[in-house]
């Protein structure tokens, strides 16, 4: 497995951006049916960056066992959003980054080979991508995700009110917008193509547990299938380290291993 630390200029953001990429070295044995590598875009949390998964988990070892490339971008505290007062990070993540990654590495562009996951803020970002672009992602996973962002704006677990306003605008602009995962679930319900697989987990001692229960209830009400795992755990790496292994085992990875 090769760990590649990469800096490049983003035209979308008008700044230099960092990513870490894990690329299987024995690609002739680990490529998918398309002749290129399946890929997991793995997203960081609010107070972290593109180094977080490498520093705090054994994602390199787990990904090597599965023969999958892992791309870890850095987006600051943007909530993976085209910010109200700030930079267009969601456009970067959804449009520019995949093009750059496929130009630099032998990454498949097939929907069947493309997955996204993240923890905390990254769980929100992962579900946002999967719900927004069901034609691009075969699976999306959220670990302790901040999924009910409208409730947070309204005061539930909102420890950053001014920052969220800078990102999303006020709550009237957020609710029912493409930044509202509940609105995106409504849209997905009407989508007639193949829907992504979804995986969700959150520890019962996590401060975002109620967010996750609200998201799960809406998914059940809409008939959107979500693989869900419950159990004890807090908002920390003691919980996320084993759960990322569960995610990799759950992903529908097609390889020649």
What is residue 257's predicted lDDT score, i.e. its pLDDT?
Answer: 46
pLDDT value for 155 = 73
Query: What DSSP element (H or E) covers 194?
Result: none
Nearest Cα to 63, choosing from 117, 24, 34?
A: 24
Q: Indicate the pLDDT class of residue 35, thresholds 50, 70 and 90.
A: confident
* pLDDT bucket at 98, cuts 50 / 70 / 90: very high
List the alpha helices (DSSP H) in the chain.
Answer: 27-30, 52-56, 59-66, 89-91, 97-104, 121-132, 149-153, 161-168, 171-174, 181-190, 209-222, 237-250
**What's the order of all strands across the beta sheet hosting 15-23?**
2-10, 15-23, 69-73, 39-43, 114-119, 139-143, 197-201, 227-229
Local confidence band at 57 (pLDDT 50, 70, 90 cut-offs): very high
Domain 2-248, CATH among 3.40.50.300, 3.40.190.10, 3.40.50.1820, 3.40.50.720: 3.40.50.1820
Least confident of 22-31, 133-142, 143-152: 22-31
Mean of the pLDDT values across residues 100-123? 97
């Amino acid at each position: 497995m090769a760990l590649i630390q990469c800096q490049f200029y983003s035209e979308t953001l008008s700044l230099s951006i960092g990513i870490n990429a894990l690329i299987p070295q024995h690609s002739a044995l680990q490529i998918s049916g398309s002749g290129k590598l399946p890929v997991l875009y793995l997203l960081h949390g609010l107070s972290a960056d593109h180094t977080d998964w490498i520093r705090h988990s054994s994602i390199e070892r787990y990904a090597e066992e599965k023969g999958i490339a892992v791309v870890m971008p850095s987006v600051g505290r943007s909530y993976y959003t085209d910010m109200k007062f700030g930079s267009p990070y969601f456009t970067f993540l959804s449009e520019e980054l995949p093009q750059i990654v496929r130009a630099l590495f032998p990454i498949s562009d097939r929907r069947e080979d493309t997955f996204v996951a993240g923890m905390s803020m990254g769980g929100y970002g992962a579900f946002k991508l999967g719900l927004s672009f069901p034609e691009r992602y075969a699976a999306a996973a959220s670990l302790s995700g901040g999924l009910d962002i409208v409730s947070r704006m309204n005061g539930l677990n909102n420890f950053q009110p001014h920052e969220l306003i800078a990102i999303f605008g006020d709550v009237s602009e957020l609710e029912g917008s493409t930044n509202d995962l509940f609105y995106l679930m409504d849209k997905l319900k009407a989508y007639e193509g193949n829907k992504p697989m979804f995986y969700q987990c959150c520890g019962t001692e996590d401060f975002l547990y109620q967010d996750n229960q609200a998201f799960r209830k809406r998914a059940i009400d809409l008939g959107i299938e979500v693989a869900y795992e419950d159990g004890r755990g807090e908002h920390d790496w003691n919980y996320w380290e084993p759960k990322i292994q569960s995610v990799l085992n759950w992903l529908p990875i097609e390889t020649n291993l």
